[in-house]
Amino acid sequence: MIEIPTGLPAELVPLSWLIGVWEGTGVIDYAVGEERVSQEFGQRISFSHDGLPFLNYSSYTWLIGGDAEGQPLTSETGYWRLARLHIEGDVGPGMLPGVGPRPFNTAQSVETLRNSAEGFDIEVSIVHPTGVSELYLGQVKGPRIDLATDAVVRTQSAKEYAAATRIYGLVDNHLLWAWDIAALGQDLRTHASARLAKAD
């Protein structure tokens, strides 16, 4: 059962099942040519909001097993929101306040954003500390999210990374996800997946 927190901006209701802290384990499994990287990892993900119509996202991972036990792996941070045109009532660009009432502040108005597949289009921006920034476009439909990169930006020092897809789903009160990437000269292929339980 999905519980919707009180005081949640109406635009976040379709994403409300993500809110909270999730912890668990997963597996990296990625082939680069003839070499295969396979490693178990632990992960802690947080989805929160601060009253604005987007979710704050952060992820921290560490290695599990052998000499690498507990070694920090990587982290990422970003924002998740429904995809729609921004109008005068929205904040921005930058710190410019919106003019007039905030749009889409009722369940009825948010329902007008449903797409032809009966889901909601979403935009997700994720930044990695390794010099990679991703912009994903996708859809949330019930307790499932499908994402694919629309753009990947890399700093000059970052490793080659071209595209990705991610799938998230709520199954038996666990957050399951899978992430495919095209990196290091490889085509889009399996990269990592995990099963996480609500920690709070």
* Confidence (pLDDT) at 17: 96
Of 72, 54, 25, the C-alpha closest to 176 is 25
Number of structural domains in the chain: 1
For the chain, 200 residues long, give each residue's pLDDT as a single digit of tens: 456 566 799 999 999 999 999 999 999 999 998 899 999 999 999 999 999 999 999 999 999 988 888 999 999 999 999 999 999 999 999 999 999 988 999 999 999 999 999 999 999 999 999 999 999 999 999 999 999 999 999 999 999 999 999 999 999 999 999 999 999 999 999 999 999 999 96
Domain assignment present for 3: no
Domain assignment present for 184: yes
Domain assignment present for 181: yes
Is 87 within 8 Å of 101 (Cβ atoms)? Answer: no
Is 183 within 8 Å of 13 (Cβ atoms)? Answer: no
The CATH number for 120's domain is: 2.40.128.20
Domain assignment present for 4: no
* Confidence (pLDDT) at 166: 98
* Confidence (pLDDT) at 68: 85
Domain assignment present for 2: no
Domain assignment present for 1: no
Structural domain span for residue 188: 10-29+37-198
Domain assignment present for 77: yes
Burial class (CB in 10 A: 0-12, 13-18, 19+), 130: middle
pTM for the model: 0.94
* Confidence (pLDDT) at 193: 98
